[in-house]
Structures are given as C-alpha cells and as structure tokens.
Chains A and B, each alone.
Chain A
Amino acid sequence: MTETESNPDQRPTDLARACELIAFRMGTREFCVDIMSVREIRGWTKATALPKSPSFVRGVVNLRGTVLPIVDLSARLGFPAAEPTARHVIIVAQIGAQTIGLLVDAVSDILTVTDDLVHPTPDVASDMAKTFVRGVLAVDQRMISLIALDQVLPVCEQDAA
C-alpha cells in the first residue's frame, strides 16, 4: 500500500490556480482525478460481491475497518470490465461524505497543471463522456481525461432494479 502525499515543496506557489492531478491507466487510455480527493492508493484485494448491484460495482473490501465499495471505473465509463490481478490498484477517493475505491490498471503520474491547460470535453455524442469527463489535458501528446468523481456511484438506482 502506498500512501500518496502531496509534497508542499513541489507545489508551484506562483500559480494560484494550479492543481495536482493523479493520472492512471485503464487499458490504453489515460485518465486523471484531482489529487485532493484521493485518500490513498492500495493494491487489489478480492472484493465481496454485493447482490443486486450494478455490474460496475465489484463489491466491498475491508479498508482498516471501513467497508469500502469498489467501482470498476473502466466498466463505469462504458469500457470493458477489468479483470483484476494483483498488479491492479485501488484509488481510495473521497466523494462528498462517502469514501469509495476505484479499480484501475495502474497509477502512472502526478501532474501539476493550471486551469488553462484543461480543455473542455470535445463535443462527442457519448453520454458517458458528458457525465464523467470534466475536461481533457494534452500532456506529451497524450490525451488525459479529467474525471468528475461525483457521478461515479449509482444514484438510488436500486429503486429501478
């Protein structure tokens, strides 16, 4: 388990609107989330399945006494579901009052960016893109999508189920 700590020395103080992002991979695609919402990153452990739950909810794991739901971010974004191995990681993120785990392939980078580097989401037809992608970044010719975490958990979908 690796605790992520934002090192204050590396934070550029001259850029007031600079923020740090954690970039991670799922398949060939790259995504990132705001580092402030990330609590820790840990290795994959087998989750206890939850019955009658959406397919992207892998189940729950024990995080030092807390029951942590695990969301397969790949499946949540409409990509093929992950087949987790010991090398997969869980990004423990804080969304409002809730703490959830995001299953991703690997964490790749910590990016320090300013707001003007984040481009608006390209106008594509995908609902997924509109719901979850807040913007895109171009870093070394790679496209990294900034994920808005607040939509990741299903909202009272159990009523419809």
Chain B
Amino acid sequence: MDAMAAIKQTFFQECEEQLGELEIGLLVLQDGDTDPETVNAVFRAVHSIKGGAGAFNLDELVHFAHVFENVLDHLRAGRLAASGDVLKTMLRAADMLADLVRAARDGTAADTGRRDTLAAELRALDPEATGKDLDSGHQDSHGDDLDGPVFEAVPISFDDMEIESTPDEHQFIIHFTPKPDLYAKANETALLMRELCCLGEAVITCDFSRLPVLEELDPEGSYLSWTIELRTVQDENAVRAVFEFVEWDCELDVAQVDAAQGFDDTALEALIEKMQATVEAELAAPEVPPNDVQASMDEPLANQAGGAGQVLGNPPGGKPDAGKSSQATIRVDLDRVDRLINLVGELVINQAMLTQRMLEAGLARASGVATGLDELEQLTREIQDSVMAIRAQPVKSVFQRMPRLVREVAVMTGKSVRLTTAGENTEVDKTVIERLADPLTHMIRNAIDHGLETPELRAAAGKPEEGLVHLSALHRSGRIVIEVADDGAGIDRPRVKAIAAEKGLIAAEAPLSDEEIDNLIFLPGFSTASTVSDISGRGVGMDVVRRSIQALGGRISIRSKPRQGSTFTMSLPLTLAVLDGMVVTVAGETLVVPLTAIIETLQPKADAVHGFAGNSRVIAIRDQFIPLIDVGHELDYRSGFADPCKSVALFVESEGHVRSALLVDAILGQRQVVIKSLETNYQHVPGIAAATILGDGRVALILDVDAVVAGSRVAATGFEQLCAAAG
C-alpha cells in the first residue's frame, strides 16, 4: 500500500469516529441538551470530515459536508433553534454523510437523489437563506472546474478567523535569502519555515528567479530565496528568534506591516482554510474551542516554537500540549495484537507446564526455583491483563450504529420508536464487539418489527404512541450482559405455540410452560411473520442470533410479559482468550469449570441428599433444596450416577440466578487457562464451552455450566425437542 492510500485509510477510520461523535452529539441535542460544547463538537465533526475530504479531492463529500456545516454554524451561533424537526433532518443528514463517506471509501456510488433532497432540506433550514445560498450553490456547480481541492469561501471558517484576528496580531513580510554557508552548516530551510508556521499563519512563496541553467548550477550553491507573509500574535523578536542560528549565513529582512491590509485575496484565504481544515482533521479531537484560543493567545508562546516544530502549520495559538494529549493513542494493526495475545496464551500454558514439572521433580515449595516461578506467574498474569486491556473496547462502537438502524426500521414499519441506551462504556474484548453487531442488529430489528405494536394499537392499549426500545450493557460476574428490551405487546404465546405445532416443531398438545413457549422462537425455522419482509421474518432470525451468540460462548434468553413487552438478555464472556477455572476430575476425565460460575464447594453428606421424582436428586444446604446435577452422567461419561458422598459438589449460579449443585469426583486446583475454540477444527459440543491445554500438555474441556444446568432441567422434564434447541 502506498503512503497516500495509507493516509486515506486513516482518514476514513477517523471519519467513522467523527461520524460517531456527530450522531451522539445530535442525539444529545435531541434530548434537549443545549450545551454549546455539544454543538461545537457536532460542528467540529462535520468540519473535520470536510477538511479531510477536501485534501483527498472527494468533492461530493466536501459539498454535502459544506451545506451541512453551514446549517450547523447557524445552530452554533444561535440563529437557528434546535427544534425536533431540525434535529431529525440533521440526523438524516448525518446518515447521508456516513453513506457518502462509505461510498467514497469503497469507491461505490452514493444515492445522489437522496443527497440532493437532503442538501435542499438543509438549505431550507438556513435562516439566512436565498441570496447567499444560491450563490454558494452556484459555486458548487462550477467548483469541479478548479484544479485541486475545492474550498469555497466557507462562512464558518471566516467566523473563526474573525475571532483570531485580534488587535494584538501583527503581520510581517519576511524576505529570507540563505547563503551557501547556511547549507554548509547543515541547516535546513524547510525546518525554519515550519518554525515560522508554528508562530502563526504563514504564506510562503519561493523565488526561483536566480536559479541558473543546469550546466552553471553549483550543487553546493544557494539560489533560492523566500518571501513569507506571516500573521502572528508574536512580536518581531520572536520571529527573528527563529532565524537565530542562521543569522550570519543569510540575508534576512523582517518588516512589520499593518494587519488590516492584505488577505483580501480569496486564493490566500482558501489556502489558509485548507491548512486549517487539514490540521483540524489531523488533530481529530480539537480540544480548543475558539474562546480558549483567545485566552491562550495571551500566553507567551516562545517555548512552543521548538516543541511544535514537527507539525506544519499549527493553528495559531493552538496548544501543542492539547494536541499531544489528544494524540496519546496509536493505531496498531489488529493482527499484531492478536499475535501478542496468542503468544501470551502460549506463555501461560508454558508457565503452567513449568510449575507442573517442578512439582514432579519434587522441588520444595519454599525453594528458590518455586519462588521464582511464583513471581513468573504473577508477571505472566500482569502481562496478560495488560494485553487484554489493549483489546478491551467500550461497546459504544456497536451501540452507536443502532440509532440509525432504529430510524430506518421505524420508517419502514411506520412505527414511532425511541431508542434509549445505557452502559455504552462497558468494556469488552474487541473480537466480542465485532461479532456482536450482527446479532444485536437482528434483535433490534425484531424488537421493532415484531415487538412493538403500531401507533394505533398502542394508542388503543393506552400506551404512548412512541414505542420504547432500551439497549443496555453491564458487567455481571465476569461476563458482559447486554439487554434489548421493548415495551411492546410481548410474545403472543398461543400464536407462537400454534405456529410451532403447525411447523411440526412440537407436538400440538405438548404441555409447555410459558418460558418454554417463549423459547420456541429460538428454534430453527421458526418465524411468526406471515410475509418475508426486508426487515425480519426470513425464518432464520432468532435461531441465527442464538447460534452466533453461542459461538461466542454466550447465551441468550427471553423474558416476556403480555402487553408489557419482551426483554432479550445476552450474556457473553468478556474475553475469548483466557478464563480462571477450577480444574476437576469427572469419571477419569479432567474438566475445567469457569470460576466465575462457582459460588462455593462442599463435600455432601449422605443425609443432605434427597432423591426426587425419577432420577433427579436435590441437596439440602442451609435450609434450601438445590438440584444436584451429576456432571459425569450429564456428559455421558458414565451411565450410572456417582455416589454424592465420595464426590464434591460445586454450587453454581447460572443464567437467571438459577442455583444448582454440580457433582464432580475431585477438585485438582485452580488455574488460569487459555481458551481454545473447539469450533475451529471441529464443531460445537453440547455442554462444553471450549477446550484448553493443561500443564501436562493434554487437552482439557471447559464446562459450559449454563448449558449443563439447562440440559439437566430439560432432560428432567422429558421435553426432548427443547433439548436440541437449548444446545
């Protein structure tokens, strides 16, 4: 990939971030927030996209962003009120902008009709409409004739510049002609120019007139001279200080001119505008609102000149520190992080092997080797946590995509929907996030399409016409729990049951509990929609969702109340790489039980275990009867049942706060294990979440506690069909 393509890619990545900011900002405004900082953030986002797009000649994008930006500027200046209708248009404009960005990125054609409609709608919002807008429209149509990036006179940026041109500002005309000695002493004129740019806005012209023909050219001679027009808040001394080290090796003339004159040249302004926009796009998160710029201008800037030397054309008065802190992140290729994660995984296995070898060699626990190994273990764990932290990301990036989806589905279904979110800063591993988007999209679509009623029905039921979809994320016992709740009609149980029977998924007269009926929607091939729509109802919906969640080691469940709505709950592991587990043996096999599921362990006494109907048994603990699940039997390791008195019971809490006791033969210890997928080379195994490699180099299986518990309950009710459904 050549350098330009790489920069372009970065630009599009940043665009995505800006688009996210834009959408969040608009949504906050829609909620009635009138914080000027929010408006500024929204404005900056559009402005940065426009600036960057201009640098890449993405004219289509620039034009639309420009129109959008104009309207936002009126909003910022208070000339336009942030009413609901205005914001709705702006949100749709933000979607359009996102489409244009993606079209530019993928090289596809955007929907120009929709773009023009929206651009017209935006223009209609402009309180200072007519004359000027017609004018700018005129410029738009002819802009393509110009070479290079098209930067019309943007009203907005003129505002910025008006703020910047204070009475304190000076303008200098600098004539700079280096002598050959300057180059001989290894000075570089480009660096001097950069320093000057740091002082303020500089327009640099190079004079080639003294350049001789090639035969006469002395390679070590000096033939170029420069004229720099500089606008800065600094005084002449600061300007001269830039040339301090080359003073004797050049002809330098610094003349101060009146700030009022000059700069009426539109080309010049366009150039400055371009520089400014590029820098803003580069900084991505400009922390300095115009007012602060004003304040910081009064500060002495002498020490900045050196520090900010590497950034060409820093905005005047922009604090280098602010720039630095917002750039304290780096973009790293995900493959590299993955490689690191894999290596750390191997390190953990290796370290476990070492520990095991040490025990086999009969070394004392207190020996120097053992202490060293303990320290190694701690270090390994720290490295692992740090590496995991690199991958952890807030679920925000997925949640951000949902408002647009909601708007689109709402329009398609003719329903009025409001989306609220909570806990979008909950962090989870990047791989989980990536694979979360599809199931979540499906669930939200389903919630709107199937969950919510039409406005008429809602009104008739005495509910507000606007339906509510609530999306939330939170950490619970080492997992991330994501809920999609709607306040719709809830699951129509008789209908669901009838359809399942009709499709032959269940026997018509099967006695099912409400919960069992609700779970029928996860069966393959189940769909209540009578017509296949664009939105949902292909009959693959919830089945596919359940599978993709299971593939992530997660589970999905549903709670539904008639007329009050349904809540889908997904519970996912925080990382797909490691877990803390308890190593146990069952019927000669070694298993790992995730530690997060275990509440306590105990050795059952004979009088605490009671037989129940059929083969099921319960164990009494602190006056509670808890179902006893024989893991060996459940996984078909043995046909009979283990003697509880010679076993250990692990009390686990599974989904929905269900408590059960898992019966295993013995506990070997506690260990951090690296998760290895079984699906990579094989397929999903019921009751098993994944595999791992133990210290002795052998593969051990990681128990899927919830699936085992669910499986035993289903087996007890004898409802085989649901067994297959629950996996």
Given contacts A67-B677, A67-B678, A98-B680, contact A52 B691 (CB under 8 A): no
Interface residues of B in 56-83 (CB under 8 A from A): none
Q: Which residues from chain B contact A51 at a C-beta distance below 8 Å?
A: 635-637, 685-688, 701
B680 touches A67 (CB 8 A): yes
In the complex, what residue of chain B is closest to A155 when comparing beta carbons? Answer: B683
Select the residue from A51, A67, A158, A159 with max chain B CB neighbours within 10 A.
Answer: A51
Task: Kindly provide the distance from the CB of A60 to the nearest chain B CB, expressed in whole angstroms.
Answer: 5
A66 touches B681 (CB 8 A): yes
In the complex, A100 has a CB within 8 A of chain B: yes
Q: How many angstroms between the C-alpha atoms of A72 and B724 in the bound complex?
A: 26
A48 touches B589 (CB 8 A): yes
Contact with B along A60-86 (1 / 0, CB 8 A): 111001111100000000000000000
Q: Which residues from chain A contact B678 at a C-beta distance below 8 Å?
A: 50, 60, 67, 69
B683 touches A154 (CB 8 A): yes
Contact with A along B669-689 (1 / 0, CB 8 A): 000000011101111111110
Q: Which residues from chain A contact B590 at a C-beta distance below 8 Å?
A: 48
In the complex, B699 has a CB within 8 A of chain A: yes
Given contacts A62-B699, A66-B676, contact A52 B349 (CB under 8 A): no
Contact with A along B630-644 (1 / 0, CB 8 A): 000001110000000
In the complex, A139 has a CB within 8 A of chain B: no
Interface residues of A in 32-69 (CB under 8 A from B): 46-53, 57, 59-62, 65-69
Contacts between the two chains (Cβ within 8 Å), count: 81
Q: How many angstroms between the C-alpha atoms of A63 and B179 in the bound complex?
A: 69
Q: Which residues from chain A contact B32 at a C-beta distance below 8 Å?
A: none
In the complex, B408 has a CB within 8 A of chain A: no
B699 touches A158 (CB 8 A): no
Task: Kindly provide the distance from the CB of B452 to the nearest chain A CB, expressed in whole angstroms.
Answer: 32
B691 touches A67 (CB 8 A): yes
In the complex, B698 has a CB within 8 A of chain A: yes
Given contacts A65-B349, A67-B676, A67-B691, contact A52 B636 (CB under 8 A): yes
In the complex, B207 has a CB within 8 A of chain A: no
B698 touches A62 (CB 8 A): yes
Interface residues of B in 629-665 (CB under 8 A from A): 635-637
B682 touches A60 (CB 8 A): yes
B699 touches A61 (CB 8 A): yes
In the complex, what residue of chain B is closest to A48 when comparing beta carbons? Answer: B699
Q: Which residues from chain B contact A100 at a C-beta distance below 8 Å?
A: 681-682
Q: Which residues from chain B contact A99 at a C-beta distance below 8 Å?
A: 681
Q: Which residues from chain B contact A159 at a C-beta distance below 8 Å?
A: 524, 724
A158 touches B676 (CB 8 A): no
B698 touches A48 (CB 8 A): yes
Q: How many angstroms between the C-alpha atoms of A68 and B697 in the bound complex?
A: 13
Q: How many angstroms between the C-alpha atoms of A53 and B691 in the bound complex?
A: 15
Q: How many angstroms between the C-alpha atoms of A62 and B698 in the bound complex?
A: 6
In the complex, B239 has a CB within 8 A of chain A: no
Interface residues of B in 665-720 (CB under 8 A from A): 676-678, 680-688, 691, 693, 697-701
Q: Which residues from chain A contact B697 at a C-beta distance below 8 Å?
A: 62
In the complex, A156 has a CB within 8 A of chain B: yes
In the complex, B128 has a CB within 8 A of chain A: no
Q: How many angstroms between the C-alpha atoms of A61 and B684 in the bound complex?
A: 16
In the complex, A153 has a CB within 8 A of chain B: yes
Q: Nearest 4 A-B pairs (CB), nearest first?
A: A51-B635, A69-B682, A48-B699, A67-B676
7 contacts between A and B (CB under 8 A): A52-B636, A52-B685, A60-B699, A61-B699, A69-B681, A153-B682, A160-B724
The residues of B with any CB-CB pair to A shorter than 8 Å are 345-346, 349, 524, 589-590, 635-637, 676-678, 680-688, 691, 693, 697-701, 724
Known A-B contacts: A47-B699, A48-B691, A51-B688. Give 17 more (CB < 8 A): A48-B700, A49-B589, A50-B678, A51-B635, A52-B636, A66-B676, A66-B680, A67-B681, A67-B682, A68-B681, A69-B678, A69-B681, A98-B682, A154-B683, A156-B683, A158-B685, A161-B686
